[in-house]
Structure 1
Amino acid sequence: MRRTMNRIGPDNVSMILALVILVFLITVVSGWFGYSGGDKFFSWQNLMNSVAQAIVIVGLLAIGETVVIVAGGLDISVGSVASIGSVVSASVLVGVGTFGSTFLPTGNVFVAVAAGILAGMVAGVINGFIVTVLRVNSTIATLGTLAAFAGIAFLLAPDGKPIGVVTQPDFTWLARERLFTGVPIPDLNGSKWTGVPVLTVILVLVTLFIHVLMAYTDFGRAVYAIGGNEVAARLAGINLTRMRIAMYVISGGVAGLAGVLLAARTTSGNPINGVGLELQAITAVFLGGAATSGGKGTIIGTFLAVMLVGVLNNGMNLLGFNTFVQRVALGLLLIGAVAISQWRQMREEKTRARALAQQS
């Protein structure tokens, strides 16, 4: 049991336990206080449509954000970067707007998706340049680009209006299609098996890729080294400038992909598609065990936290809580996540100091 717990990680075990408790509160405890709707949680329609699809966009933003936060930085601009990716992909796809009237071929789904991701990577390069070359604090830098990129998204769209892609079924397929629909899975609470959304499969694949990158490559080890001790990382021969730019490029590229999927899901490349999503993404990263000072955090922990936030939002919708109450809950969750992160960090520092005192 101890070996299994160590392999999973204590933080991840805590997240799984919190997820189980939250589901119990939604499905059972809520009924004790007169709330109805919790019994609808365990149905394939709710789990595959309302939960599995709802966590995808925030999940992608949080996965990219984790890379930056582990290194001791922050990227508040991911929501606006997603808006840029959404507008650029739709613009290229239908041939309108700033990018749609260029040399890029229109009507090609692959080119449109690649253009949205590339736009996000360019935004990441800009963030990395401001943080490394201009030496602006990452919080201030990305707070500025949050506003700047939001404005750029409107400038890229024709007259700042959404670009419809409803007539592009090959593109909207990314959001509406289901996989494994023919698998003989029994009904759940009277709801038939609907298959796994393509969006969810994309999230899982990206999560696994970034997890391998962070856990089993020199790049990932360098990211943790920078977050743990920047001076020691530099003395060890790590190029801090190149690494930081690479981290923001990864965050921007994943955010661009999230914007592409937002365009497919909402059937429009809207300049406001990603507005406000950065709060949920950052909340998930800190809730997943990342430290505000860097050097700690895992992709799997972030993924579990995204599931927790998604289940929380879904449960509150089922129980009839309005959007404003959900925002209050999300804000309190962020404060609690950061407070827990700080408490863990202080506890580890005390343990380390006690161990050093005993050795001396």
Structure 2
Amino acid sequence: MTNIGGAFRRNINRIGADNLSLILALVILVFLITVVSGWAGYDGGDKFFSWQNLMNSVAQAIVIVGLLAIGETVVIVAGGLDISVGSVASIGSVVAASVLVGVGTFGSTLLPTGNVVVAVLAGIIAGMVAGAINGFIVTVLRVNPIIATLGTLAAFAGIAFLLAPDGKPIGVVTQPDFTWLARHRLFTDVGIPDLNGSAWTGIPVLTVIFVIVTIIIHILMAYTDFGRAIYAIGGNEVAARLAGISLTRIRIGMYMISGGVAGLAGVLLTARTTSGNPINGVGLELQAITAVFLGGAATTGGKGTIIGTFLAVILVGVLNNGMNLLGFNTFVQRVALGLLLIGAVAISQWRQVREEKVRARALALQS
């Protein structure tokens, strides 16, 4: 029994208490949507468990916000914040579309057109440039990250309109090789049984891209010197500087990562909506930041994981999907999202206070 208990505790520690609580919350939420809603007289919850819903309305729907949240996690763990990720996604969306079809500032003059790879890279690089600007403002000009990225939220949104011809959306519906990113599915021929009367639809390419990016950033944060430096800066900036960590280099790098991932999100938004629209990323930053704090990140930095954010993104996606199935309108969903953000930050603050008390008690016992 002792060995079993020890193995159980080791597995719990490996998963993490925060991640375990997210998994439990996800199970409870699914139960509320699929079972309790029926008891309360709401229709639609029985449609949740179907391949059509899980692969279309959940797996695809979480991708864009999920990417923004993964990039945002890198910044928040270091004690910063990037409110501009939605506008950066809009820039990536417009740049990719303009390069692809050969219109606008980039497409008509600077880069070769009609090439999907070039268009995707252009959107990502545009996001990285925007991230570098954020990093420069925060590190060199020493502007508070909240104020800096609040300003660039508006500035980048304006730039997205300036890059588009006359500020209008750029259609890419005639570019099947590009829209393939959003429309194609993998493993469609796998013999997976029907679910609730719905046939297996395959895994969307969008979802595969999201998972790959999540794994890459997780490895970067958990197993590299760069990732350890980010945690060190978020935990204690002074100690990190005394340890020889270049705060300027790391911070600019982390904002570039956030911007590059946001640019990729904008590219995929273009493929999904078949339009490079300057308003594609508007409002997505709230959901992304909510997911990061819900995933266990601390508001002061030094704490948070990519896996936690990934689970939180799924939780937010299931919440939105469930409310859609049950017939709640958009305004109710926005209220729920706002309350979720407040609750996530409140829980984060409570955890920090509890940890401080535990440390203080341990120091008192040692002395």
- Structures share fold, TM-score greater than 0.5: yes
* Structure 1 counterpart of 2:289, one-letter code: I
1:81 counterpart SS class: helix
Query: Which residue of the other structure, out of 238, 244, 247, is the alignment partner of 2:245?
Result: 238
How much has 1:216 moved relative to structure 2? 0.6
- Find out whether 1:165 has 2:172 as its counterpart: yes
Q: Distance in 2 between matches of 1:154 and 1:217?
A: 38
Cα distance, 1:272 vs structure 2: 0.1
Q: In the alignment, which residue of structure 1 is the partner of 2:186?
A: 179
Question: Which residue does the alignment assign to 1:253?
Answer: 260
Q: What displacement does 1:98 show?
A: 0.7
Question: What's the CA shift for 1:103?
Answer: 3.2
- Alpha-carbon distance between aligned partners in 2 of 1:242 and 1:16, rounded to the nearest angstrom: 36
Residue in structure 2 matching 1:64, options 68, 71, 74? 71
Q: CA deviation at 1:241?
A: 0.2
Residue 3 (structure 1) aligns with: 10
**Residue 194 of structure 1 aligns with which residue?**
201
Moved more, 100-109 or 188-197: 100-109
* Distance in structure 1 (CA, Å) of the matches to 2:100 and 2:236: 44
Q: Deviations over 1:308-343 (max 9, x none)?
A: 000000000000000000000000000000000000
Q: What corresponds to 2:162 in structure 1?
A: 155
Instruction: Output the TM-score relative to the length of structure 1.
Output: 1.00
**Deviation at residue 110 of structure 1 after TM alignment:** 0.2
1:305 maps to which of 288, 299, 312? 312
Cα distance in structure 1, aligned partners of 2:150 and 2:187: 41
Counterparts of 2:176 and 2:195 in 1: how far apart (Å)? 30
Q: SS of 2:198's equivalent?
A: coil
Identity %: 90
Q: Counterpart of 2:34?
A: 27
Aligned-partner Cα distance in 2 for 1:219–1:111: 28
Kindly indicate whether residue 328 of structure 2 is the aligned counterpart of residue 321 of structure 1.
Answer: yes
Measured in 1, the distance between the counterparts of 2:111 and 2:186 equals 31
**How much has 1:102 moved relative to structure 2?**
1.5
Distance (whole Å) between structure 2 residues aligned to residue 195 and residue 94 of structure 1: 29
Partner of residue 226, structure 2: 219
Q: Deviations over 1:208-247 (max 9, x none)?
A: 0000000011111000000000000000000000000000
Name the SS of the counterpart of 1:273 in structure 2.
coil
Counterpart of 2:19 in structure 1 is 12
User: Matched residue of 2:232: which SS?
Assistant: helix
2:353 maps to amino acid? M
* Corresponding residue to 1:134 among 135, 141, 163: 141
Residue equivalent to 2:3: none
Counterpart position of 2:117: 110
Code of the residue aligned with 2:305 in structure 1: it is T
CA RMSD of aligned residues (A): 0.3
The whole-number CA distance in structure 2 between the counterparts of 1:145 and 1:64 is 16
Counterpart of 1:143 (choices 137, 150, 153) is 150
Q: Which residue among 345, 349, 359 is the counterpart of 1:352?
A: 359
CA distance in structure 1 between the partners assigned to 2:110 and 2:256 by the alignment: 24
- In 1, the alpha carbon distance for the partners of 2:136 and 2:104 equals 27
How many residues are matched?
A: 360
Instruction: Report the equivalent of 1:77.
Output: 84
Give the aligned residue type for 1:53. Answer: Q
Match of 2:287 among 271, 280, 284: 280
List runs of 5+ in structure 1 lacking aligned partners. none
1:242 partner letter: R
CA deviations over 1:21-68 (Å, ceiling 9, x no partner) = 000000000001100000000000000000000000000000000000
